[in-house]
Chain A
Amino acid sequence: MFAGVGLDEALAFTPAEWTAVFLSLRVASVGALASLPFGVAVAWLLARRRFPGKSLLNAAVHLPLVLPPVVTGWLLLIGFGRQGMFGRFFEQAFGLVFSFRWTGAALAAAVMGFPLMVRAIRLSIEAVDGRLEEAASTLGAPAWFVFGSITLPLAAPGILAGLILGFARAIGEFGATITFVANIPGQTQTLASAIWSSTQDPAGEAATWRLTGVAIAIAVAALLTSEALAARISRQDAGE
Protein backbone atom coordinates (compact mmCIF):
# COMPACT_ATOMS: atom_id res chain seq x y z
CA MET A 1 0.00 0.00 0.00
CA PHE A 2 2.60 2.60 1.05
CA ALA A 3 5.45 2.04 -1.40
CA GLY A 4 5.59 -1.69 -0.80
CA VAL A 5 4.49 -1.59 2.86
CA GLY A 6 1.18 -3.27 3.64
CA LEU A 7 -1.54 -1.70 5.81
CA ASP A 8 -1.12 -4.24 8.63
CA GLU A 9 2.58 -3.55 8.68
CA ALA A 10 1.96 0.20 8.58
CA LEU A 11 -0.08 -0.08 11.80
CA ALA A 12 2.11 -2.58 13.68
CA PHE A 13 3.81 -0.21 16.11
CA THR A 14 6.58 -1.73 18.20
CA PRO A 15 6.89 -0.85 21.91
CA ALA A 16 10.07 1.09 21.12
CA GLU A 17 8.18 3.19 18.60
CA TRP A 18 5.41 3.98 21.06
CA THR A 19 8.08 4.96 23.55
CA ALA A 20 9.52 7.42 21.04
CA VAL A 21 6.05 8.82 20.29
CA PHE A 22 5.14 9.33 23.96
CA LEU A 23 8.58 10.71 24.76
CA SER A 24 8.13 13.24 21.97
CA LEU A 25 4.73 14.27 23.30
CA ARG A 26 6.18 14.67 26.78
CA VAL A 27 9.26 16.55 25.59
CA ALA A 28 7.21 18.90 23.41
CA SER A 29 4.50 19.53 26.05
CA VAL A 30 6.98 20.20 28.84
CA GLY A 31 9.19 22.31 26.57
CA ALA A 32 6.30 24.45 25.30
CA LEU A 33 4.53 24.84 28.66
CA ALA A 34 7.71 25.59 30.61
CA SER A 35 8.78 28.24 28.12
CA LEU A 36 5.31 29.85 27.91
CA PRO A 37 5.73 32.22 30.91
CA PHE A 38 9.07 33.38 29.50
CA GLY A 39 7.53 33.67 26.06
CA VAL A 40 4.71 35.86 27.37
CA ALA A 41 7.13 38.01 29.37
CA VAL A 42 9.52 38.55 26.46
CA ALA A 43 6.65 39.16 24.02
CA TRP A 44 5.18 41.76 26.38
CA LEU A 45 8.56 43.49 26.74
CA LEU A 46 8.99 43.59 22.98
CA ALA A 47 5.41 44.70 22.34
CA ARG A 48 4.86 47.26 25.07
CA ARG A 49 8.13 48.52 26.50
CA ARG A 50 10.97 50.64 25.29
CA PHE A 51 14.35 49.96 26.82
CA PRO A 52 17.99 50.00 25.82
CA GLY A 53 19.07 46.72 24.23
CA LYS A 54 15.57 45.93 22.95
CA SER A 55 16.78 45.15 19.43
CA LEU A 56 19.48 42.96 20.93
CA LEU A 57 16.87 40.99 22.89
CA ASN A 58 14.78 40.70 19.74
CA ALA A 59 17.75 39.36 17.83
CA ALA A 60 18.67 36.89 20.58
CA VAL A 61 15.12 35.54 20.66
CA HIS A 62 15.13 35.00 16.91
CA LEU A 63 18.60 33.50 16.77
CA PRO A 64 17.50 29.84 17.01
CA LEU A 65 15.29 30.42 13.98
CA VAL A 66 18.21 31.40 11.76
CA LEU A 67 21.16 29.51 13.26
CA PRO A 68 21.82 25.98 12.01
CA PRO A 69 20.04 23.81 14.64
CA VAL A 70 23.23 21.85 15.13
CA VAL A 71 24.93 25.07 16.27
CA THR A 72 22.16 25.75 18.79
CA GLY A 73 22.48 22.15 20.01
CA TRP A 74 26.22 22.48 20.42
CA LEU A 75 25.86 25.79 22.29
CA LEU A 76 23.33 24.11 24.61
CA LEU A 77 25.82 21.31 25.18
CA ILE A 78 28.52 23.85 26.08
CA GLY A 79 26.25 25.87 28.36
CA PHE A 80 23.89 23.27 29.81
CA GLY A 81 26.09 20.17 29.74
CA ARG A 82 27.25 18.85 33.10
CA GLN A 83 30.44 20.88 32.82
CA GLY A 84 28.66 23.94 31.44
CA MET A 85 28.09 27.03 33.54
CA PHE A 86 24.28 26.77 33.53
CA GLY A 87 24.33 22.98 33.61
CA ARG A 88 26.33 22.98 36.83
CA PHE A 89 24.07 25.61 38.35
CA PHE A 90 20.87 23.68 37.60
CA GLU A 91 22.37 20.44 38.87
CA GLN A 92 23.54 21.97 42.14
CA ALA A 93 20.51 24.17 42.74
CA PHE A 94 17.68 21.89 41.63
CA GLY A 95 19.30 18.52 40.94
CA LEU A 96 18.24 19.00 37.36
CA VAL A 97 20.49 17.42 34.70
CA PHE A 98 19.95 18.18 31.02
CA SER A 99 22.68 16.41 29.10
CA PHE A 100 21.65 13.07 27.57
CA ARG A 101 18.32 13.16 29.43
CA TRP A 102 14.77 13.80 28.21
CA THR A 103 14.87 17.09 30.13
CA GLY A 104 17.62 18.22 27.78
CA ALA A 105 15.43 17.31 24.82
CA ALA A 106 12.68 19.45 26.38
CA LEU A 107 15.13 22.33 26.80
CA ALA A 108 16.24 22.05 23.18
CA ALA A 109 12.60 21.90 22.09
CA ALA A 110 11.79 24.98 24.17
CA VAL A 111 14.70 26.98 22.77
CA MET A 112 13.96 26.03 19.17
CA GLY A 113 10.22 26.74 19.52
CA PHE A 114 10.76 30.01 21.40
CA PRO A 115 11.05 32.40 18.41
CA LEU A 116 7.78 31.16 16.90
CA MET A 117 6.04 31.30 20.24
CA VAL A 118 7.23 34.83 21.03
CA ARG A 119 6.33 36.05 17.57
CA ALA A 120 2.72 34.86 17.78
CA ILE A 121 2.26 36.19 21.32
CA ARG A 122 3.92 39.51 20.52
CA LEU A 123 1.61 40.11 17.57
CA SER A 124 -1.44 39.34 19.68
CA ILE A 125 -0.31 41.67 22.49
CA GLU A 126 0.36 44.42 19.95
CA ALA A 127 -3.17 43.91 18.65
CA VAL A 128 -4.67 44.63 22.08
CA ASP A 129 -5.95 48.21 22.07
CA GLY A 130 -3.59 50.15 24.33
CA ARG A 131 -6.41 52.60 25.04
CA LEU A 132 -8.18 49.88 27.04
CA GLU A 133 -5.07 49.50 29.18
CA GLU A 134 -5.04 53.27 29.69
CA ALA A 135 -8.70 53.17 30.72
CA ALA A 136 -7.90 50.46 33.26
CA SER A 137 -5.08 52.53 34.74
CA THR A 138 -7.37 55.56 35.12
CA LEU A 139 -9.64 53.28 37.17
CA GLY A 140 -6.80 52.73 39.61
CA ALA A 141 -5.54 49.35 38.44
CA PRO A 142 -1.79 48.76 38.94
CA ALA A 143 0.23 47.69 35.90
CA TRP A 144 0.35 43.99 36.85
CA PHE A 145 -3.42 43.90 37.26
CA VAL A 146 -3.99 45.65 33.93
CA PHE A 147 -1.79 43.02 32.31
CA GLY A 148 -3.60 40.12 33.94
CA SER A 149 -7.14 41.41 33.51
CA ILE A 150 -7.01 43.21 30.16
CA THR A 151 -3.91 42.41 28.10
CA LEU A 152 -3.68 38.69 28.83
CA PRO A 153 -7.32 37.72 28.23
CA LEU A 154 -7.56 39.83 25.08
CA ALA A 155 -4.33 38.34 23.75
CA ALA A 156 -5.38 34.80 24.74
CA PRO A 157 -6.05 33.49 21.21
CA GLY A 158 -2.56 34.54 20.14
CA ILE A 159 -0.97 33.15 23.30
CA LEU A 160 -2.68 29.84 22.63
CA ALA A 161 -1.57 29.92 19.01
CA GLY A 162 1.98 30.63 20.22
CA LEU A 163 1.83 27.72 22.63
CA ILE A 164 0.63 25.33 19.94
CA LEU A 165 3.16 26.61 17.40
CA GLY A 166 5.89 26.11 19.98
CA PHE A 167 4.59 22.60 20.67
CA ALA A 168 4.39 21.69 16.98
CA ARG A 169 7.88 23.03 16.37
CA ALA A 170 9.10 21.01 19.35
CA ILE A 171 7.59 17.79 17.97
CA GLY A 172 9.61 18.36 14.81
CA GLU A 173 12.83 19.32 16.58
CA PHE A 174 15.75 17.22 15.41
CA GLY A 175 19.09 18.91 14.85
CA ALA A 176 19.60 20.67 18.16
CA THR A 177 18.17 17.74 20.11
CA ILE A 178 20.38 15.07 18.59
CA THR A 179 23.44 17.30 19.03
CA PHE A 180 22.67 18.12 22.64
CA VAL A 181 21.21 14.87 24.05
CA ALA A 182 22.02 12.33 21.30
CA ASN A 183 19.59 9.63 20.18
CA ILE A 184 19.26 7.14 23.04
CA PRO A 185 16.20 4.87 22.68
CA GLY A 186 13.92 5.26 25.71
CA GLN A 187 15.88 8.25 26.96
CA THR A 188 16.27 10.91 24.32
CA GLN A 189 15.05 9.26 21.14
CA THR A 190 12.13 11.42 20.07
CA LEU A 191 9.77 10.85 17.16
CA ALA A 192 12.02 12.81 14.81
CA SER A 193 15.20 11.04 15.83
CA ALA A 194 13.42 7.65 15.69
CA ILE A 195 12.37 8.43 12.12
CA TRP A 196 15.94 9.38 11.27
CA SER A 197 17.21 6.10 12.81
CA SER A 198 14.68 4.03 10.89
CA THR A 199 15.72 5.70 7.62
CA GLN A 200 19.28 4.58 8.35
CA ASP A 201 18.08 0.99 8.75
CA PRO A 202 17.70 -0.95 5.44
CA ALA A 203 14.75 -2.83 7.00
CA GLY A 204 13.22 0.25 8.53
CA GLU A 205 10.86 1.34 5.78
CA ALA A 206 7.67 0.22 7.54
CA ALA A 207 8.78 1.87 10.78
CA THR A 208 9.47 5.09 8.90
CA TRP A 209 5.93 5.03 7.49
CA ARG A 210 4.38 4.38 10.89
CA LEU A 211 6.27 7.17 12.63
CA THR A 212 5.76 9.60 9.75
CA GLY A 213 2.02 8.98 9.99
CA VAL A 214 2.09 9.81 13.69
CA ALA A 215 4.11 12.98 13.03
CA ILE A 216 1.59 14.13 10.44
CA ALA A 217 -1.36 13.30 12.73
CA ILE A 218 0.11 15.28 15.63
CA ALA A 219 0.87 18.27 13.42
CA VAL A 220 -2.62 18.34 11.91
CA ALA A 221 -4.25 17.89 15.33
CA ALA A 222 -2.19 20.77 16.75
CA LEU A 223 -3.18 23.09 13.91
CA LEU A 224 -6.87 22.17 14.08
CA THR A 225 -6.91 22.62 17.86
CA SER A 226 -5.30 26.02 17.55
CA GLU A 227 -7.83 27.13 14.92
CA ALA A 228 -10.81 25.84 16.90
CA LEU A 229 -9.72 27.45 20.16
CA ALA A 230 -8.96 30.77 18.51
CA ALA A 231 -12.35 30.79 16.80
CA ARG A 232 -14.09 29.99 20.08
CA ILE A 233 -12.32 32.73 21.98
CA SER A 234 -12.99 35.36 19.35
CA ARG A 235 -16.69 34.39 19.39
CA GLN A 236 -16.73 34.87 23.15
CA ASP A 237 -15.13 38.28 22.83
CA ALA A 238 -17.78 39.30 20.36
CA GLY A 239 -20.27 38.63 23.14
CA GLU A 240 -22.12 35.75 21.51
Chain B
Amino acid sequence: MIEIVVRHRLGAFAIEADIRASGRILAISGPSGAGKTTLLNMISGLLRPTEGRIAVDDVVFLDTATGFDMPTRLRSIGYVFQEPRLFPHLSVAGNLRYGARFARRDSPLVGFDEVVALLGVAHLLARRPARLSGGEKQRVAIGRALLSNPRALLLDEPLAAIDDARRRDILGLIEQLRDAFAIPMIFVSHQAGEVERLASDIAVLSQGRLVEMRAGAARPRSG
Protein backbone atom coordinates (compact mmCIF):
# COMPACT_ATOMS: atom_id res chain seq x y z
CA MET B 1 0.00 0.00 0.00
CA ILE B 2 1.43 3.32 -1.07
CA GLU B 3 -0.28 6.45 0.13
CA ILE B 4 0.73 9.91 -1.09
CA VAL B 5 -1.78 12.57 -0.16
CA VAL B 6 -0.20 16.01 -0.39
CA ARG B 7 -0.91 19.65 -0.98
CA HIS B 8 1.93 22.04 -1.62
CA ARG B 9 2.55 25.49 -3.02
CA LEU B 10 5.83 26.47 -4.68
CA GLY B 11 5.35 30.09 -5.65
CA ALA B 12 2.90 30.08 -8.55
CA PHE B 13 3.06 26.30 -8.87
CA ALA B 14 0.76 24.18 -6.76
CA ILE B 15 0.69 20.46 -6.28
CA GLU B 16 -2.34 18.57 -5.18
CA ALA B 17 -2.31 14.82 -5.31
CA ASP B 18 -4.26 12.04 -3.67
CA ILE B 19 -2.59 8.81 -4.68
CA ARG B 20 -3.48 5.54 -2.99
CA ALA B 21 -2.05 2.50 -4.69
CA SER B 22 -2.66 -1.00 -3.45
CA GLY B 23 -0.05 -2.70 -5.62
CA ARG B 24 3.71 -2.99 -5.17
CA ILE B 25 4.78 -0.91 -8.12
CA LEU B 26 3.46 2.57 -8.68
CA ALA B 27 4.30 4.46 -11.83
CA ILE B 28 3.86 8.20 -11.89
CA SER B 29 3.69 9.59 -15.39
CA GLY B 30 2.87 12.88 -17.00
CA PRO B 31 4.53 15.58 -19.07
CA SER B 32 7.65 17.32 -17.78
CA GLY B 33 6.82 20.00 -15.26
CA ALA B 34 3.83 18.04 -13.98
CA GLY B 35 5.42 17.70 -10.54
CA LYS B 36 6.58 14.08 -10.71
CA THR B 37 10.05 14.63 -9.25
CA THR B 38 8.57 16.98 -6.66
CA LEU B 39 6.45 14.09 -5.42
CA LEU B 40 9.50 11.83 -5.15
CA ASN B 41 11.33 14.53 -3.20
CA MET B 42 8.40 14.67 -0.80
CA ILE B 43 8.39 10.89 -0.35
CA SER B 44 12.12 10.88 0.39
CA GLY B 45 11.77 13.81 2.79
CA LEU B 46 13.98 16.17 0.79
CA LEU B 47 10.98 18.46 0.39
CA ARG B 48 8.30 18.98 2.96
CA PRO B 49 4.82 19.58 1.57
CA THR B 50 2.61 22.26 3.08
CA GLU B 51 0.30 19.54 4.24
CA GLY B 52 -0.30 15.88 3.69
CA ARG B 53 0.27 12.30 4.63
CA ILE B 54 2.81 9.92 3.11
CA ALA B 55 3.03 6.26 4.04
CA VAL B 56 4.37 3.07 2.52
CA ASP B 57 2.92 -0.16 3.86
CA ASP B 58 2.58 0.40 7.60
CA VAL B 59 5.28 3.01 7.91
CA VAL B 60 4.17 6.63 8.08
CA PHE B 61 6.82 9.06 6.80
CA LEU B 62 4.87 12.25 7.12
CA ASP B 63 1.62 13.28 8.67
CA THR B 64 1.25 17.02 8.98
CA ALA B 65 -2.06 16.59 10.82
CA THR B 66 -0.14 15.21 13.79
CA GLY B 67 3.02 17.21 13.08
CA PHE B 68 5.00 14.05 12.32
CA ASP B 69 7.87 14.38 9.84
CA MET B 70 10.45 11.59 9.73
CA PRO B 71 13.92 12.87 8.77
CA THR B 72 15.18 11.76 5.36
CA ARG B 73 17.95 9.56 6.70
CA LEU B 74 15.54 7.54 8.85
CA ARG B 75 13.01 6.96 6.07
CA SER B 76 15.15 4.32 4.37
CA ILE B 77 14.02 5.32 0.93
CA GLY B 78 16.29 4.12 -1.84
CA TYR B 79 16.18 7.08 -4.18
CA VAL B 80 17.67 6.64 -7.64
CA PHE B 81 17.86 10.19 -8.96
CA GLN B 82 17.51 11.15 -12.59
CA GLU B 83 21.18 12.15 -12.68
CA PRO B 84 22.81 9.22 -10.87
CA ARG B 85 24.50 11.43 -8.23
CA LEU B 86 27.32 8.96 -7.64
CA PHE B 87 30.01 10.19 -5.28
CA PRO B 88 32.83 11.23 -7.63
CA HIS B 89 35.65 10.69 -5.14
CA LEU B 90 34.67 7.10 -4.35
CA SER B 91 35.08 4.02 -6.51
CA VAL B 92 32.06 2.00 -7.63
CA ALA B 93 32.68 -0.34 -4.69
CA GLY B 94 32.94 2.68 -2.37
CA ASN B 95 29.63 4.03 -3.67
CA LEU B 96 27.92 0.67 -3.17
CA ARG B 97 29.32 0.31 0.35
CA TYR B 98 28.15 3.82 1.22
CA GLY B 99 24.62 2.54 0.65
CA ALA B 100 25.23 -0.56 2.76
CA ARG B 101 26.87 1.32 5.64
CA PHE B 102 23.65 2.68 7.11
CA ALA B 103 21.40 -0.09 5.83
CA ARG B 104 18.26 -0.76 7.81
CA ARG B 105 18.95 -3.70 10.11
CA ASP B 106 15.40 -4.62 11.09
CA SER B 107 14.80 -6.70 8.00
CA PRO B 108 17.00 -9.19 6.14
CA LEU B 109 19.91 -7.41 4.49
CA VAL B 110 20.34 -7.32 0.77
CA GLY B 111 23.67 -9.00 -0.01
CA PHE B 112 26.53 -7.06 -1.61
CA ASP B 113 27.53 -9.91 -3.91
CA GLU B 114 23.93 -10.54 -4.83
CA VAL B 115 23.42 -6.96 -5.91
CA VAL B 116 26.73 -6.80 -7.76
CA ALA B 117 25.83 -9.95 -9.68
CA LEU B 118 22.29 -8.85 -10.44
CA LEU B 119 23.43 -5.48 -11.77
CA GLY B 120 26.41 -6.91 -13.63
CA VAL B 121 28.88 -4.38 -12.23
CA ALA B 122 31.51 -6.79 -10.86
CA HIS B 123 34.10 -5.72 -13.45
CA LEU B 124 33.57 -2.03 -12.58
CA LEU B 125 34.10 -2.14 -8.82
CA ALA B 126 37.49 -0.41 -8.81
CA ARG B 127 36.49 2.35 -11.24
CA ARG B 128 35.61 5.94 -10.45
CA PRO B 129 32.17 7.15 -11.62
CA ALA B 130 33.80 9.54 -14.11
CA ARG B 131 34.87 6.51 -16.14
CA LEU B 132 31.47 4.85 -16.36
CA SER B 133 28.95 5.07 -19.20
CA GLY B 134 25.48 6.48 -18.53
CA GLY B 135 23.95 3.02 -18.25
CA GLU B 136 26.68 1.80 -15.91
CA LYS B 137 26.22 4.81 -13.66
CA GLN B 138 22.51 4.12 -13.51
CA ARG B 139 23.15 0.51 -12.51
CA VAL B 140 25.55 1.53 -9.75
CA ALA B 141 23.04 4.10 -8.48
CA ILE B 142 20.34 1.44 -8.36
CA GLY B 143 22.74 -0.92 -6.56
CA ARG B 144 23.70 1.73 -4.03
CA ALA B 145 20.03 2.40 -3.27
CA LEU B 146 19.23 -1.34 -3.00
CA LEU B 147 22.09 -1.96 -0.57
CA SER B 148 20.64 0.56 1.85
CA ASN B 149 17.94 -2.07 2.36
CA PRO B 150 15.18 0.41 1.57
CA ARG B 151 11.56 0.33 2.59
CA ALA B 152 10.77 1.57 -0.91
CA LEU B 153 12.74 2.23 -4.05
CA LEU B 154 12.19 5.48 -5.93
CA LEU B 155 13.35 5.67 -9.52
CA ASP B 156 13.26 9.02 -11.26
CA GLU B 157 13.18 8.60 -15.06
CA PRO B 158 15.39 5.53 -14.92
CA LEU B 159 15.37 5.36 -18.72
CA ALA B 160 15.90 9.00 -19.61
CA ALA B 161 19.70 9.14 -19.66
CA ILE B 162 20.11 5.84 -21.45
CA ASP B 163 20.29 5.01 -25.15
CA ASP B 164 17.63 2.81 -26.70
CA ALA B 165 19.78 -0.32 -26.70
CA ARG B 166 20.23 -0.14 -22.96
CA ARG B 167 16.62 0.66 -22.14
CA ARG B 168 15.54 -2.95 -22.43
CA ASP B 169 18.35 -3.87 -20.03
CA ILE B 170 17.18 -1.44 -17.39
CA LEU B 171 13.53 -2.34 -17.90
CA GLY B 172 14.47 -5.99 -17.54
CA LEU B 173 16.43 -5.10 -14.44
CA ILE B 174 13.47 -3.36 -12.85
CA GLU B 175 11.42 -6.45 -13.58
CA GLN B 176 14.09 -8.59 -11.93
CA LEU B 177 14.18 -6.29 -8.90
CA ARG B 178 10.43 -6.56 -8.63
CA ASP B 179 10.67 -10.35 -8.59
CA ALA B 180 13.88 -10.76 -6.57
CA PHE B 181 13.16 -8.28 -3.77
CA ALA B 182 9.80 -7.60 -2.25
CA ILE B 183 10.46 -3.86 -2.17
CA PRO B 184 7.68 -1.48 -3.13
CA MET B 185 8.78 0.68 -6.07
CA ILE B 186 7.68 4.07 -7.20
CA PHE B 187 8.97 5.25 -10.49
CA VAL B 188 8.53 8.28 -12.58
CA SER B 189 8.42 8.39 -16.35
CA HIS B 190 7.15 10.89 -18.84
CA GLN B 191 6.24 8.04 -21.19
CA ALA B 192 3.33 6.11 -19.78
CA GLY B 193 3.58 3.31 -22.37
CA GLU B 194 7.09 2.36 -21.39
CA VAL B 195 6.21 1.63 -17.80
CA GLU B 196 2.76 0.24 -18.35
CA ARG B 197 3.72 -3.40 -18.30
CA LEU B 198 5.82 -3.08 -15.15
CA ALA B 199 3.48 -1.13 -12.94
CA SER B 200 0.63 -2.36 -10.84
CA ASP B 201 -0.77 1.15 -10.51
CA ILE B 202 -0.35 4.18 -12.72
CA ALA B 203 -0.90 7.74 -11.57
CA VAL B 204 -1.00 10.39 -14.26
CA LEU B 205 -0.12 13.93 -13.25
CA SER B 206 -0.64 17.11 -15.15
CA GLN B 207 0.28 20.59 -13.92
CA GLY B 208 0.63 19.43 -10.37
CA ARG B 209 -2.68 17.60 -10.26
CA LEU B 210 -3.58 13.96 -10.33
CA VAL B 211 -5.69 13.56 -13.45
CA GLU B 212 -5.94 9.80 -13.73
CA MET B 213 -5.39 6.75 -11.56
CA ARG B 214 -5.54 3.36 -13.21
CA ALA B 215 -4.34 -0.20 -12.87
CA GLY B 216 -1.21 -1.27 -14.74
CA ALA B 217 -0.55 -4.53 -16.52
CA ALA B 218 1.31 -5.96 -13.54
CA ARG B 219 -1.70 -5.64 -11.25
CA PRO B 220 -2.30 -9.02 -9.66
CA ARG B 221 -5.83 -10.16 -10.43
CA SER B 222 -7.81 -10.45 -7.27
CA GLY B 223 -10.15 -13.43 -6.90
Give chain A's interface residues, CB within 8 Å of chain B.
129, 131-132, 134-142, 145, 149-150, 153-154, 236-239
Tell whether, in the assembled complex, residue A239 and residue B81 are in contact, meaning their CB atoms are under 8 Å apart.
no
Which residues of A are found within 8 Å of B44, using beta-carbon distances?
A: 138
B85 within 8 Å of A by Cβ? yes
Q: Choose from B77, B78, B89 the contact partner of A154 (Cβ within 8 Å).
A: B89
Tell whether, in the assembled complex, residue A138 and residue B73 are in contact, meaning their CB atoms are under 8 Å apart.
yes
CA distance A137 to B98 in the complex (A): 11
Least Cβ–Cβ distance between A127 and chain B, in angstroms: 12
Top 3 A-B pairs, shortest CB-CB distance: A239-B128, A140-B102, A239-B130
The contact string, 1 if C-beta is below 8 Å from chain A, for chain B 82-118, is 0101011100000000110111100000000000000
Tell whether, in the assembled complex, residue B72 and residue A237 are in contact, meaning their CB atoms are under 8 Å apart.
no
Tell whether, in the assembled complex, residue B46 and residue A141 are in contact, meaning their CB atoms are under 8 Å apart.
no
B131 within 8 Å of A by Cβ? yes
Least Cβ–Cβ distance between A5 and chain B, in angstroms: 50
Known A-B contacts A135-B79, A135-B81, A140-B102; the reply to A239 vs B131 at CB < 8 A is yes
Least Cβ–Cβ distance between A132 and chain B, in angstroms: 6
B148 within 8 Å of A by Cβ? yes
Which residues of B are found within 8 Å of A150, using beta-carbon distances?
A: 87
Other A-B pairs beyond A134-B46, A137-B72, A141-B98, 17, CB < 8 Å: A131-B83, A132-B85, A132-B87, A132-B88, A135-B81, A135-B85, A138-B44, A138-B46, A138-B72, A138-B145, A139-B102, A139-B148, A140-B74, A140-B102, A145-B102, A237-B130, A239-B128
Tell whether, in the assembled complex, residue B73 and residue A237 are in contact, meaning their CB atoms are under 8 Å apart.
no
Tell whether, in the assembled complex, residue A137 and residue B88 are in contact, meaning their CB atoms are under 8 Å apart.
no
Most chain B beta-carbon contacts within 10 A, residue among A131, A140, A149, A236? A140
Can you list 30 A-B contacts (CB < 8 A)? Answer: A131-B83, A134-B46, A134-B85, A135-B79, A135-B87, A136-B87, A136-B98, A138-B44, A138-B75, A138-B79, A139-B73, A139-B98, A139-B99, A139-B102, A139-B145, A140-B76, A140-B101, A140-B104, A140-B148, A141-B101, A142-B73, A145-B102, A150-B87, A154-B89, A237-B89, A237-B130, A238-B128, A239-B127, A239-B129, A239-B130
CA distance A136 to B77 in the complex (A): 11
Q: Choose from B45, B76, B88 the contact partner of A239 (Cβ within 8 Å).
A: B88
Least Cβ–Cβ distance between A12 and chain B, in angstroms: 49
Tell whether, in the assembled complex, residue B73 and residue A238 are in contact, meaning their CB atoms are under 8 Å apart.
no
Least Cβ–Cβ distance between B48 and chain A, in angstroms: 13
Least Cβ–Cβ distance between B183 and chain A, in angstroms: 14
B8 within 8 Å of A by Cβ? no
CA distance A141 to B77 in the complex (A): 12
Nearest chain B residue, comparing its CB with the CB of A135: B85
Which residues of A are found within 8 Å of B129, using beta-carbon distances?
A: 239
Give chain B's interface residues, CB within 8 Å of chain A.
44-46, 72-79, 81, 83, 85, 87-89, 98-99, 101-104, 127-131, 144-145, 148
Which residues of B are found within 8 Å of A149, using beta-carbon distances?
A: 98
Which residues of B are found within 8 Å of A134, using beta-carbon distances?
A: 46, 72, 85
Least Cβ–Cβ distance between B149 and chain A, in angstroms: 9
CA distance A140 to B104 in the complex (A): 8
Which residues of A are found within 8 Å of B89, using beta-carbon distances?
A: 153-154, 236-237
Tell whether, in the assembled complex, residue A140 and residue B103 are in contact, meaning their CB atoms are under 8 Å apart.
yes
Which residues of A are found within 8 Å of B77, using beta-carbon distances?
A: 138
Which residues of A are found within 8 Å of B83, using beta-carbon distances?
A: 131
Tell whether, in the assembled complex, residue B102 and residue A141 are in contact, meaning their CB atoms are under 8 Å apart.
yes
Known A-B contacts A131-B85, A236-B89, A237-B89; the reply to A141 vs B73 at CB < 8 A is yes
Least Cβ–Cβ distance between B21 and chain A, in angstroms: 21
Nearest chain A residue, comparing its CB with the CB of B104: A140
Nearest chain B residue, comparing its CB with the CB of A149: B98
Which residues of B are found within 8 Å of A140, using beta-carbon distances?
A: 73-74, 76, 101-104, 148
Nearest chain B residue, comparing its CB with the CB of A142: B73
Tell whether, in the assembled complex, residue A238 and residue B102 are in contact, meaning their CB atoms are under 8 Å apart.
no
